[in-house]
Amino acid sequence: MLRLSGGQVESLWDEVLPGEVKELPEDLAALNVLLSDRRLLEPIAADWRREAVCHGRPSIPMDVYVRLMIVEARTGWGYETLVREVSDSLHLRRFCLIALGERVPHESTVRKLTRRLGGGVVEDLTRYVIAKAQHETRFRARAVRIDSTVVEADVRYPSDAALSLDGARTLAREARKLTGLIGKDAGRVRDRSRALGRHLRAISRTMGRRTGERKAQVLALTDQAGQLLRRSISEARRMVATARRRAHGRGAQRKLAAISSLEQAADRPERVAAQIKLRIEGKPITDRLVSMFDPDARPIRKGKLGKPNEFGYVLQICEVTAHTRRGARGFILPASTAPGNPPESKLLPDTTGELERLAPERVFIAGRQQPGSRRTQRRLARYRTGAEGRTSHLKRSYGLRRSRLKGAPGVRAWSA
């Protein structure tokens, strides 16, 4: 059941607190005024399933959830750290509308709500805040600067052998769950993580050698890892076929759900096995999988000397400002993104759609002939270069360097 707001925040405990404790810091006080508008929660109410609005277990208040997410975005804390710090801070408790006698929502509740709402709701909240600030401050969008950047996925540096190890572990884990429902005579998926771990360590030792045969030895070990993974996939497919014939009677829905989970878990290891086969044959891999747990992440090359290869998502950041002078600041619109390594021209239509809400008066495109004096051209070029600094600030201070949410929907929610 949806709850937009909670109960009374003040309690008898607040009467014994000093006056300076009851006053929020300047930045939190300004945010508190902005978040006091009840219409801010309308996108959440519109997205909530109609049958779950008045039925089911009550959710935590949505105004509390939104404020918790703002604290998380400003600090970069994880969910467990967020809950712990808000519990210990009087100022954060008052800002998040949690009374002194109440418990802070559990971190799993906050995490599941983030997945349920998704990036679309967060973007709608951002658009409403921008429209509200634009109306109240009489902001006029006179200039726009756009730049693309890479947001890293929350994955380790990928290798085919390490992906094989993750795939074998996942298949064995899902098969054990299914065995508990169907029975041991339905087959089994052998856990080959120990054998794959030995191959992975052997690859690491081989990479440290300075012999000319190093590459051939690594390819041979990787091929062996792929063969072990294909055995696990074959066992999983046979187990799924046997289990489907027995998925009837009491608990049939649970059995079918476990079968579907094992079947889906086998899809990504099959892609890894196919990648290994193409690599051994020396053929190019067009759509490389870099993580078993974040299938939407892709390898991205941007020509950086320090990081020639990055693994994640390309985001197009758009900032609108009221002028082009030095130190111009404005609003960051919801970022545009697409799977893989898309060019900027592919992301521009979505960015243009966001710009149409604000109707900027002028757009300067660096590198093209523009009307105006040479002095104006230099000023506009410096303004455009400021997009690099804004992106760097977002990465250093607001967690845009690495997304802690999995998948393309998670990156949309994280970047908005």
Torsion angles phi and psi, residue 398, rounded to 5: -125, 20
Could you tell me if 386 and 328 are in contact, meaning their C-beta atoms sit under 8 angstroms apart?
Answer: yes
Task: Identify how many contiguous H helices and E strands the chain contains and give both numbers.
Answer: 15, 5
Going by C-beta distance under 8 Å and a sequence separation of 6 or more, which residues neighbour residue 258? 174, 177, 178, 181, 182, 243
- Split at pLDDT 50, 70, 90, the class of 112 is confident
Q: What is the mean pLDDT of residues 121-139?
A: 85
Domain coordinates of the chain in residue numbers? 12-129, 139-155+296-415, 160-281
Going by C-beta distance under 8 Å and a sequence separation of 6 or more, which residues neighbour residue 203? 159, 161, 218, 221, 222
Q: Coil, helix or strand for 318?
A: strand
Residue 51 pLDDT > 50, yes or no?
no
Residue 360 pLDDT > 70, yes or no?
no
Residues making up the chain, counted from first to last: 416
Distance from C-alpha of 222 to C-alpha of 296, rounded to nearest angstrom: 23
Of 16-25, 114-123, 230-239, 280-289, which gets the smallest average pLDDT?
Answer: 16-25
The pTM of the full predicted model, rounded to 2 decimals, is 0.81
- Split at pLDDT 50, 70, 90, the class of 323 is confident
Residue 54 pLDDT > 90, yes or no?
no
Segment 243-288, tens digit of pLDDT:
888 888 778 888 899 989 999 999 999 999 999 999 999 898 888 9
Specify the pLDDT at position 141. Answer: 82
Q: How far is CA 158 from CA 108, 272, 343, in A?
A: 28, 11, 23
Residue 53 pLDDT > 70, yes or no?
no
**Crossing angle for the helix pair 160-182 and 252-265, to the nearest 10 degrees:** 170
Residue 149 per-residue DSSP state: E
Could you tell me if 311 and 299 are in contact, meaning their C-beta atoms sit under 8 angstroms apart?
Answer: yes
Residue 8 pLDDT > 80, yes or no?
no
Q: What is the mean pLDDT of residues 73-99?
A: 87
| Strand partners for 148 | 316
70-79, 166-175, 318-327: which is most confident: 166-175
Specify the pLDDT at position 182. Answer: 85
Residue 323's CB: how many other CB atoms inside 10 A? 13
Provide the CA 204 distance to its chain's centre, in angstroms: 30
169 vs 6: which has the higher pLDDT: 169
| Strand partners for 204 | none
Residue 172's CB: how many other CB atoms inside 10 A? 19
